[in-house]
Amino acid sequence: MQTIRSFFFYISIGVLTLFLPIVVLFSVPFSILTRQRMVASWTQLIINALYFFCRLDFEVIGAENIPAGPAVILCKHQSAWETFALQVVFPAQTWVLKRELLMIPIFGWCLAYAQAIAIDRGSPKKALNQVISQGRDRLEKGLWVVIFPEGTRSKPGSALKYSAGGAMLASRTGYSAVPVAHTAGYFWTPGRFRITPGTIKIAIGPEIEAAGRRAGEINREAEDWIERTMDEIAP
């Protein structure tokens, strides 16, 4: 039965994606912050569909740690879930992602419109310069910047090497970093069709001050908090 529920959820994503360009078109006259909030409303529909069809809910731990102004979100990457949920949990944002995602019909075009920072993984130096220069631009516009330090999805219970790109963006700009851990990989596992019902825990860590600090120090503090918290909240 849960496999059938998962099937209908994936169908709902396809249907809702057809409406995404309409949301984008209606958002054109507004500021970038308002446009991102409108897109987040569409994302909320995805989260609602996930609960309706698959009975997969979530709870937020540490919401009081969200700063008043924009910051760099350093988030654990395990699933497709966090790419939707972060837009519901945090204020207006954009993302650092691989440029190949911009080629996905409809969805990729909307990512480009949302001023996502699309990097070329084959050129690390160029990618880092992009993250810093374009990330600074987005932060100064009032957008939060989401970065997955591991670069790709890790399996539940494991960790990949943390890239310092997000920490360097925080260090160079002076905007703080916010570490985020979650258990989405245990329920919506990459490469597995069936979505498991339950409640995902998403934990938001204390704000990491970045002004005057080295990127390596910021990155280690974020990694230590994320991985320690992952052990604490794992089902």
Place of tokens 């309409």: 22
> Does residue 97 lie in a domain region?
yes
CA gap 232, 36 in Å, rounded: 32
Query: What pLDDT was estimated at residue 102?
Result: 81
* Residue 162: band (very low, low, confident or very high) from pLDDT cuts 50, 70, 90: very high
Residue 9 inside a domain? The answer is no
| pLDDT given at position 154 | 93
Give whole-number Cα distances, 112 to 26, 67, 175, in Å. Answer: 16, 26, 23
Question: What is the value of pTM for the model shown?
Answer: 0.93
- Placement of tokens 């069809």 in the chain: 53
Q: How far apart are CA 209 and CA 207, in angstroms?
A: 6
Q: Is 153 domain-assigned? A: yes
Q: Checking phi first, is residue 209 left (phi over 0); if not, alpha (psi -120 to 50) or beta? A: beta
**CATH at residue 158:** 3.40.1130.10
Is it the case that residue 13 has pLDDT exceeding 80? yes
Question: How does pLDDT run across 132-152, given as a tens digit for each residue?
Answer: 999 999 999 999 999 999 988
Cα–Cα distance, 162 to 165 (Å, whole number): 9
- Give the Cβ contact number of residue 52 at 10 Å: 13
Q: Answer whether residue 111 shows pLDDT above 90.
A: no
Looking at the structure of the chain, the number of domains it has is 1
**Measured between alpha carbons, how far is residue 97 from residues 56, 80, 101, 149 in Å?**
25, 13, 7, 11
pLDDT on residue 104: 80
For residue 97, which amino acid is it? Answer: L
94 lies in some domain: yes
Q: Between helices 81-89 and 32-54, what is the axis angle to 10°?
A: 120
Please check whether residue 41 lies inside any domain of the structure. no
As a whole number of Å, the end-to-end CA separation of the chain is 22
For residue 193, count other CB atoms closer than 10 A to its CB: 9
Mean pLDDT for the stretch of residues 49-64: 98
Which structural domain, as residue segments, surrounds residue 156? 56-233
The answer to the question of residue 19 being in a domain is no
Question: Which amino acid is present at 3?
Answer: T
**For residue 227, pLDDT beyond 80:** yes
Residue 43 lies inside a defined structural domain of this protein: no
pLDDT at 3: 95
R_g over Cα of the chain = 17
Task: Give the mean pLDDT of 56-80.
Answer: 97
In this prediction, residue 16 carries a pLDDT of 92
Any residues with CB less than 8 A from the CB of 150 and at least 6 apart, and which?
Answer: 76, 77, 159, 160, 161, 162, 163
Q: How confident is the model at residue 75 (pLDDT cuts 50, 70, 90)?
A: very high
Q: Is residue 222 part of a domain?
A: yes
What proportion of the chain, given as a percentage, has pLDDT over 90?
A: 74
pLDDT in tens, 114-137: 888 988 877 888 889 999 999 999
